[in-house]
Amino acid sequence: NAGVTQTPKFQVLKTGQSMTLQCAQDMNHEYMSWYRQDPGMGLRLIHYSVGAGITDQGEVPNGYNVSRSTTEDFPLRLLSAAPSQTSVYFCASSSTLLASGNSYEQYFGPGTRLTVT
């Protein structure tokens, strides 16, 4: 199992450019989510999905779009990058089956470090 994979690892964008951060998981997890990590603020939820075709907003969704056409993939799109979106982005996934000891434990990818100039 590769677990949760993210590409690219690093990206530099100019203000106004668009791009897609890729996330894939091979654990057949229904739940997937995107977080951004900023110094002193922990991780904040951007968008999440409980299954293919279903997405919803998290705490900080503005400026980001998501879609979920398959169970495996959950890309995050920046429509028009702004310097305030400079951050480290993490994708995570979890089973939604409350099996014994599961407790919706989330598995994280290695992150994408994005700089917007």
Partner 1 sequence: AQSVTQLGSHVSVSEGALVLLRCNYSSSVPPYLFWYVQYPNQGLQLLLKYTSAATLVKGINGFEAEFKKSETSFHLTKPSAHMSDAAEYFCAVSARSDYKLSFGAGTTVTVRA
Nearer CB in complex with partner 1: 17/111: 111
* Residue 2 binds partner 1 (CB under 8 A): no
Site for partner 1 in 55-114 (CB under 8 A): 58, 90, 92, 94, 96, 101-111
The span from the CA of 45 to the CA of 33, in Å, is 7
105-60-63-72 Cα dihedral, nearest 10 degrees: 10
Nearer CB in complex with partner 1: 17/113: 113
Q: How long is the chain?
A: 117
The span from the CA of 30 to the CA of 40, in Å, is 30
In angstroms, what is the minimal distance from the CB of 11 to partner 1?
Answer: 15
In angstroms, what is the minimal distance from the CB of 83 to partner 1?
Answer: 22
